[in-house]
Chains A and B, each alone.
Chain A
Amino acid sequence: MSTELKKALYNISALADLGQAITSEDDFHEKIQSAFYVITGTFLANKGAILFYEKATGQLTTLTQKGFDPAGLNRINPQELRLLVKNEACLIQDALLPAVVGAEILVPLWVRNEFIGTFLLGGKLTVDPYTPEDLELLNVIAHQIAIALNNHSLFMDLSEKLEENKRLYEEMRHIYHGTLQAFAAAIDAKDAYTQNHSYRVAKYSAAIARELGWSEHDIEGMYVAGYLHDVGKLAISNDLLNKVTPFTPEERAEIRKHSTLSHNITAKVKFPWKNVEDMVWHHHERLDGGGYPDALAQDSLSEGVRILTLADSFDAMTSQRPYRKRMDVQSAIAELKRCLESQFDNRIMLVFCKVLEKEIKGELSEPDILPHLDKDSDLTVISSMLEAIILELSVRE
């Protein structure tokens, strides 16, 4: 086989190597490094560089190089390269790149009408000059490198847009939560006795949902439902909400409208979370069907409703109300247990007890329930109580 034929086969093989490098699953920089090795290995070039044109800055960035002075590469003016023939290798005249000592070949890289970058080569190890055949091969290589760089450029654009969207989403989320907090503050401000009730119910509900293994997205929805469950109270008179004496049947009926009002208000909001309006609507339902507004029972009550019902009741019991003193934590837990199956769900109670037990034992880095309980509570007694309930309910499970 003649040397020319061997050389031709080697060049074809090099193009295959280049194709494989560019289409590999390697990351971008590994692809470019492989492509760079293919080029320098094909021509035995003692120097070389691949530079990427950053649209945002209008500057060329060196992706990989060997042998050139980095400062010289930094001084290449991309505007001058744009005047050259697209994707065509040219022998460098002295005046073209005076800053890049030793560069013999330059290829401006374009995809359609977009300047993407360039690559440079120094002389060959063999000191032979670049032949017209070499330049033709370089033109083919240039197209492939240009496409690889363009793909990277498109990917970078998309990544930037994705990051921007993520940032905007986080900002919106922040604003959303700020608005919800303002709403909750407005609800709680109507009734001096229920200060921060919405906030605590949100925290307790989210803690239970987290322990149940809900996704972060759904936990957030649970949290929002906790915040807004009493939003309907905004439409109930302050006098009625703060009444010290027992309600008349008419007054009770009026108060009970708040969950439907909460539903009507939240149903008008397009939440990114499912079932928020359902959870606020039915947070006064009971498993035995004795709740309101729809007397739903058992399977008609979603897990979210069951969580919210328990969290709301627990906070109501452990908070001071105009018509009664607050219960201590042990009594509230005992009351929840007494009402299991008729009012509260066994499994939700079990999970609630587990979370509280973990918080007492310091197993959770950010406790959601414990910080809001009576500071004078005897945690040892509560812990023993929780352990007994957990054991009992686990057996039933």
Chain B
Amino acid sequence: MKSDQFSVVSRLDGDAAIIYPKGYLNNLSGESLVIECGIYIGKGITKIVVNFGETSLINSIGISLLLQIIEDLRNIKGTICCTNMSKFLKDTFEMLGLMKHMSVFPTETEALKYLRSGKK
């Protein structure tokens, strides 16, 4: 399968960072996702929302990179929320047992509402 060039953009919404990966998360270019999250974690941000709206596919390399973000947040007692996930992503995360280590929401708004509710 031909993979599009992977890229990441992000923004800060209050005390949460919203990350927008774009493209197939399947090779070393996906390290930019870890780096982007790392920048926010380095600044003291502990709430990260990853909006997968433009990333519908992931492979074992992408899973490893996501695992890294989960571990980095766990080390600072942070929270990762994933939103706008394709069925493929949901099924893959479910099958691997990743769902227990993240909070999943249909939309970014719901994720932010959850993070601000203090229920986490």
Give residues in A with beta carbon < 8 Å to B: 3, 6-7, 10, 13-14, 17-18, 21, 26, 30, 33-34, 36-42, 44, 46, 66, 125-126, 128
Contacts and interface: CB of A to CB of B under 8 A. Distances in A.
14 contacts: A6-B91, A6-B95, A10-B92, A14-B60, A21-B27, A37-B64, A38-B60, A39-B64, A41-B61, A41-B63, A42-B63, A44-B98, A125-B101, A128-B97
Nearest to A16: B59
Contacts of A42: 60, 63
Interface string B36-70: 00000000000000000000000111111101101
B60 A66 contact: no
A13 B26 CA distance: 11
A145 to B, nearest CB: 14
B59 A13 contact: yes
A17 B60 CA distance: 7
A14 B70 CA distance: 20
Contacts of A40: 64, 67
A10 B95 contact: yes
A44 B28 contact: no
A34 B97 contact: no
B15 interface: no
B71 interface: yes
Given A37-B65, A44-B63, A125 B95 contact: no
Contacts of A3: 95
Contacts of A7: 95
A128 to B, nearest CB: 7
A334 B85 CA distance: 85
Given A17-B59, A37-B65, 10 more contacts: A13-B59, A17-B61, A21-B61, A26-B28, A30-B28, A33-B28, A39-B64, A44-B96, A125-B67, A125-B98
Contacts of A37: 28, 60-61, 64-65
Interface of B: 26-28, 59-65, 67-68, 70-71, 91-92, 95-98, 100-101
* Residue of A26, A36, A40 ringed by the most chain B CB atoms within 10 A: A40
A40 B28 CA distance: 14
Report whether over half of chain A's contact residues are helix, strand or loop; otherwise say mixed: helix
Contacts of B26: 17
Contacts of B28: 26, 30, 33-34, 37
B76 to A, nearest CB: 16
Contacts of B67: 40-41, 44, 46, 125
Contacts of A126: 96-97, 100
Contacts of B100: 126
A89 to B, nearest CB: 17
Contacts of A38: 60-61, 64
B68 A44 contact: no
A38 B63 CA distance: 8
A44 B69 CA distance: 12
A36 B60 CA distance: 10
A66 B68 contact: yes
Given A46-B71, A128-B97, A34 B59 contact: no
A202 B68 CA distance: 64
Contacts of B63: 41-42, 44
A129 to B, nearest CB: 13
A39 B60 CA distance: 8
Nearest to A67: B71
* Residue of A6, A30, A37 ringed by the most chain B CB atoms within 10 A: A37
A14 B59 CA distance: 7
Nearest to A3: B95
